[in-house]
Amino acid sequence: MTPVKIGILGLGTVGCGTVNVLARNGTDIAGRAGRGIEVVAAAARDIERERDCDTSGIRLTTDPGVVVDDPEVEVVVELMGGTETARDLVLRAIDAGKHVVTANKAMIALYGNEIFERAHARGVMVAFEAAVAGGIPIIKAIREGLAGNRIEWLAGIINGTGNFILTEMRDKGRDFEDVLAEAQSLGYAEADPTFDVEGIDAAHKLAILASIAFGIPLQFDRVAVEGISGITREDVSFAAELGYRIKHLGIARRMDNGYELRVHPTLIPERRLIANVDGVMNAVLVQGDAVGPTLYYGAGAGAEATASAVVADLVDVVRALTTDPENRVPHLAFQPDALSDHPVLAMEDVHTSFYLRLRTQDRPGVLADITRILGEHGISIEAILQREPDPQRGEATIIMLTHAVREGAMNEAITAVEALPHLLTPITRIRMEAL
């Protein structure tokens, strides 16, 4: 089948991330979507500038309208940012019967009600997973995975730049301005970084999350907004002394008399999982009446993390264009004819590190025998510990942590060590994963 042709408005951080992910993972993406995805046209302000992605074979223009109107383009991917021009272009694409994918939370928060109404009337999709929490599939999780629940509340760290700043201030004592400049150079911050530090970006995202969670229209203007610019290093360390972390949270809560919608810095007990979400990472805690609390975690900003969500939306659109509408998502994610026969490894061929506990006689040369056998099997030791729980009986407990090794080699080494006369009991082994 011929690939679906897409046009991208914007070749900045997310635009180029998307081009790169589509190029690198093209085969798997086509296997899931049922058809390939080809970028045929793209717009940027300066098309002479060197980009972080390969644009060969893509028609480049400085006029995003040319991409929208391009008869070959079936899906318009809006990654320019801004609100007014982006809205006009998205509505133009919808009117032309084209599906739209966007990462633009500001545009969705402000004009989403109008855009969705128009898309509904025209029978096209507008997908916006990347608009909230970067690479975390939080929209899909709430809209699909939690569809059986009445959502009671949600609370999230939903601005990567702000969390990066707070984390660096706390851990390294760095200055606000200095960390913000780094977040900008890493491509995390909005074109206007006051959106990040004053909580506006988080408010855009919270408005979107609240709509999806509670089934209410987008109401950005009803979100109470406070940013992190007033937080000092002193506050961060006083909070720490009291056992708390300061995090910028977006909170949406269903109350008997209405919905709370608010974003602001918040003290959270330091043992809570969400208090330990650091750097550019985001996390969203969602409380459903049936499932209870669920937590979603991942990179909240950055080129490829955000592209991950953009491409997931593209796959959804392509499936809708391609497959039986009654059976849009393949049961095993990939189309049946795209399933791979790459083998599942036997446990002997799996590589992990190991914790080993050995009970031995406490004699000279015992440790040397054990390490020699491990060495002969290519097993390298990361740490070693010896305890003598009962010196009177001349016994010792030896604990070893190894570097990663093939399980088959470890099995052989254990058999050989257990055959030594000084071993008193079988070896206890527990696999280790750094994850």
Give residues in contact with ligand HSE (CB under 6 A). Answer: 134, 159-161, 188-190, 196, 201, 300-301
Per rule CB under 6 A, is residue 85 in the interface with ligand NDP?
Answer: yes
Cβ–Cβ contacts within 10 Å for residue 369, how many? 17
Min CB(137)–ligand NDP separation in Å:
13
191 contacts ligand NDP (rule: CB under 6 A): yes
The reply to whether 247 belongs to the active site is no
Query: Does 246 participate in binding ligand NDP (rule CB under 6 A)?
Result: no
CA distance 228 to 238: 16
DSSP 189-243: S-SSTHHHHTSHHHHHHHHHHHHHHHT----GGGSEE--STT--HHHHHHHHHTT
Question: If 0-12 CB within 10 Å is exposed, 13-18 middle and 19+ buried, where does residue 362 land?
Answer: middle
Of 7 and 288, nearer to ligand NDP (C-beta) is 7
- Is residue 278 within 8 A of residue 120, CB to CB? The reply is no
Q: Which of 10, 137, 227, 250 is the binder for ligand NDP (CB under 6 A)? A: 10
Q: Is 21 labeled as ligand-binding?
A: no
Residue 11 interacting partner from ligand NDP, ligand HSE, none (CB closer than 5 to 8 Å by kind): ligand NDP
Question: Does 227 carry a binding-site annotation?
Answer: no
Where would I find the beta strands (DSSP E) of 328-417? Answer: 351-361, 381-387, 395-402, 405-406
Contacts of 288 (CB under 8 A, 6+ apart): 146, 148, 149, 150, 151, 152, 294
Q: Quick check: 356 binds ligand NDP (CB under 6 A)?
A: no
Rounded Cα–Cα distance for residues 136 and 170 (Å): 25
Is residue 145 a known part of a binding site?
A: no
| Residue number, nearest CB to ligand HSE | 161
137 binds ligand NDP, rule: CB under 6 A = no
Select which of 5, 98, 205, 247 is catalytic: 205
Residue placing its CB nearer to ligand HSE in the complex, 31 or 160: 160
Among 168, 190, 198, 304, which residue sits at the site for ligand NDP (rule: CB under 6 A)? Answer: 190
User: Per the annotation, does 243 bind a ligand?
Assistant: no
Q: Which of 64, 80, 70 is nearest to 38 (CA)?
A: 70
Interacting span for ligand NDP (CB under 6 A) from 98-106, 227-235, 282-290, 340-348: 98-106
150 is a site residue for ligand NDP (CB under 6 A): no
Amino acid at 264: H
Q: Tell me if 134 is assigned to a ligand binding site.
A: no
45 binds ligand NDP (CB under 6 A): yes
Which of the residues 289 through 308 are near ligand NDP (CB under 6 A)?
301-302, 306
Closest distance to ligand HSE from the beta carbon of 194 (Å):
11
Q: How many CA atoms lie within 13 A of 183 on its CB side?
A: 32
The answer to whether the beta carbons of residues 310 and 100 sit under 8 Å apart is no
- Give me the amino acid identity at 156: G
With CB under 6 A as the contact rule, the residue among 104, 163, 282, 402 that binds ligand NDP is: 104
**Shortest Å, Cβ 10 to ligand NDP:** 3
Residue type, 107: M
Is 190 among the annotated ligand-binding positions? Answer: yes
372 contributes a contact to ligand NDP by CB under 6 A: no
Q: How far is the CB of 305 from ligand NDP (least distance, A)?
A: 7
Pick the closest to residue 201 from 159, 262, 260 (CA basis). 159
Determine whether the annotation assigns residue 412 to a binding site: no
303-322 vs 13-24: helix crossing angle, rounded to 10: 60
- Residue 36 annotated as lining a ligand binding site: no
* 423: DSSP letter: B
Q: What is the Cα–Cα distance from 107 to 308, expressed in whole angstroms?
A: 20
Which residues are paired to 76 by β-bridges? Answer: 7, 100
43 binds ligand NDP (CB under 6 A): yes
Residue 199 touches which of ligand NDP, ligand HSE, none (Cβ within 5-8 Å per kind): none
**Cα separation values, 63 from 7, 47, 78, 101, 190, Å:** 12, 10, 13, 18, 22
Does 13 engage in binding with ligand NDP (CB under 6 A)?
yes
Q: How many CB atoms lie within 10 A of CB 348?
A: 12
Query: Does 140 belong to an annotated binding site?
Result: no
- Which of ligand NDP, ligand HSE, none has residue 44 at its interface (CB below 5 to 8 Å by kind)? ligand NDP
Q: Which residues are catalytic?
A: 205
Q: Give the interface with ligand NDP as residue ranges (CB under 6 A).
A: 10-15, 43-46, 49, 62, 64, 79-81, 85, 103-105, 130, 134, 187-188, 190-191, 301-302, 306
Q: Which residues are annotated as a binding site for NADP(+)?
A: 9-16
Q: Which residues are annotated as a binding site for NADPH?
A: 105
